[in-house]
Amino acid sequence: MDYRKCAEEIYETVGKRDNLVSAAHCATRLRLVTKDNSRVDIKHLEDIDGVKGVFSSNGQLQIILGTGTVNKVYDEFLAISGMTAATKDDVKAAAAASQPIYKRMVKALGDVFVPILPAIVATGLMMGLVEALGKAIPAFSSSDWYGFLDMIANTAFVYLPILVAVSAARVFGANIFLGAVVGMLMIHSNLVNAWSVATYEGPIPVWHLIGDVVTIRQVGYQGHVIPVIIAIFCMSKIEKQLHKIVPEVLDLFIVPLCTLMITALATFIIIGPIFATLETYVLTFATWLVTELPFGIGALLMGALYPFTVVCGLHHMYNVIELGMLSNTGLNTWMPVASAANFAQCAACLAVAVKATKLKTKSIAVPSALSASLGITEPAIFGVNLRFMKPIICGSIGGAIAAAIGSIMGVGATANGVTGIPGFLITTNCTVQYAIMLVIAFAIAFGLTYVVWKEEVEPENVVESSAAPTAPVAPSITCEKNTVYAPIEGNVIPLEQIPDDTFASGVLGQGVGIEPAVGRVVAPYDGEITVFFDTKHAIGLTNDDGVEMLIHVGINTVEMNGKGFSPKANVGDKVKAGQTLLEFDIDEIKKAGFSTTTAVLVSNTDDFKAVKVEKTGNSKELDKIIVCEQ
């Protein structure tokens, strides 16, 4: 093909240089970040000679060109556009910067909370269990054991602003110790505890910094999330700017002092009060919804909104509503709303755990779902559902419907502070109705999430690997013309059964999948290695007959960064059929949560009249599996 012409047409179609931010490539795809995707004519792009497919992923425009072609088109593209080659990190950073602001904000929240999830999960699970035991066994609630366990369980939540501040400082590139100090300031013991404001006797103390012009209410921010993150974000900007303007000789003394002082003033004078005002409005509105609207409409709306108030850190203040209900009527009708919402988020998180293939996602989602089932939803919401967006919406729908039904059935409680499964201990003669409500919340949220949510696949980044030790050449066989022999012993399956849409569609070439029985890849014919992925999980080869092959071990195994893979050959090596090219650890791949199914594809399928599969089912190494007809 005319690589120059292909590159020129792509360049014209994507909007030329003024619409391009970054360009890179992997072994099969040209990866572009554009300023405005609406200026890209996708249909025209797909019709360009040499382009095998186009899709968008994580803010990147992916143009599938195939092994051996993409690098040549990429070189021409750089020459035409005048751009420089970008790394994987460059492209990811550019793609992230081009995302809508709401997506960047959601990503920032996820990045802040994921590192602190272990602490929240551990103390959250213990909090649910301790509170449930205290409600069930009154004598236990006054014991020393209860006091000790309650202290452990409450620690992460009592000092949550500090954890959030340290994590946010890492995310925003600020000094983590200055971030910790800001977090400590927001819950300092000299301040009135935010959870005690409603019962505080007398007027709230105020600092008059400049008469009545600049005043600070002496109230802490226990349980809050958003003001802490905003404060640390502002602190990072202040610190970075001061580093630029303060001479190095004075940097150590001036920058930390000024950064802390300015941030503290901004937090207590502007950020905190604004959030407190917003909190008051939300709580007033919530009370009106729950107590005034008939037929469960208020519960429906609050069941939908509840998880988003958790995101804002407002949910702890709902204790005021519940205590008010109990003091007036003796019945807490807010509890079913919170419980339905929490249990629905548990179900949505569990659906992600069931459907996800990435071990990291599963390892976060499973304990987070368990915590949410006991009423502690922060791990599930911040660590999983909010990060992927669709699960939190599906959970909100399930929670809304279940909350409305619970309200109609008259579900209530005689206490507060417990939801989810432990909520059975405080329901009032409505255990069956409460169970029905939870089942409805779970079924709707789980079902919707499982259907709607789809795990995003990271685009692969491929470059030629550095030299690797060459294994002894295996005895060669007599290769038939245009024939591909099995490179792996295992179960050969049709192309469409490969658990990856890109491979299964045939857009990267016709071939088969192999479910390996042995962790070894051998040469499928006499030929030359043209590419060896830097992550060691895939190999490109060609032979004298012009058959170009791509052997891709596992699905999404690029994320393993070479762990479990041991190359036995180098790019440029002339290899014989049966020669060992790569060894891999099947158990390591499975442990990482990835499929071991290996794609064996003829990447230049269009050069042949037909690519026929000769064998499926159990096969040994070097069994004839593919024949290319010219």
C-alpha 116/C-alpha 127 separation (Å) is 17
Q: Is the dihedral of CA 11, 14, 19, 21 positive or negative?
A: negative
Could you tell me the two tokens for 610?
Answer: 């037909």
Nearest to 598 by CA among 536, 545, 554, 562: 554
Report how far apart, in Å, the C-alpha atoms of 595 and of each of 364, 507, 557, 598 are: 19, 20, 8, 8
Inter-residue contact 480 to 579 (CB < 8 Å): no
**Regarding beta strands 510-516 and 624-629, do their DSSP bridges make them parallel or antiparallel, or are they unpaired?**
unpaired
Q: Which of 6, 25, 26, 315 is catalytic?
A: 26
Please give the full DSSP string across 518-540, using - where no structure is assigned.
Answer: SSEEE-SSSEEEEEEBTTSSEEE
- 426: Cβ contacts below 8 Å, ≥ 6 apart: 135, 332, 335, 413, 414, 415, 418
Q: For the beta carbon of residue 455, count every other beta carbon within 10 angstroms.
A: 12
C-alpha 5/C-alpha 473 separation (Å) is 41
Report how far apart, in Å, the C-alpha atoms of 496 and of each of 57, 130, 601, 624 are: 22, 51, 12, 19
In degrees and rounded to multiples of 5, residue 566 shows phi and psi of -135, 100
CA atoms within 13 A on the CB side of 508: 29
Burial class (CB in 10 A: 0-12, 13-18, 19+), 120: buried
Burial class (CB in 10 A: 0-12, 13-18, 19+), 23: buried
* b (16+ CB within 10 A) / e for 160-173: bbbbbbbbbbebbe
Q: Indicate the DSSP class of residue 608.
A: S
Share of the chain residues as helix, strand and coil, in percent rounded to the nearest 5: 55, 15, 30
C-alpha 384/C-alpha 445 separation (Å) is 14
Report how far apart, in Å, the C-alpha atoms of 131 and of each of 317, 331, 418 are: 18, 19, 7
167 alpha carbon, distance to own chain's centre: 16
Say which residue the tokens 């070189």 belong to. Answer: 75
Whether 26 is a known active-site residue: answer yes
Could you tell me the two tokens for 243?
Answer: 């580093």
* Angle, in degrees to the nearest 10, between helices 176-185 and 248-266: 30
Q: Which of 25, 224, 315, 552 is catalytic?
A: 552
- How far apart are the two ends of the chain, measured CA to CA in Å? 18
Catalytic residue ranges: 26, 552
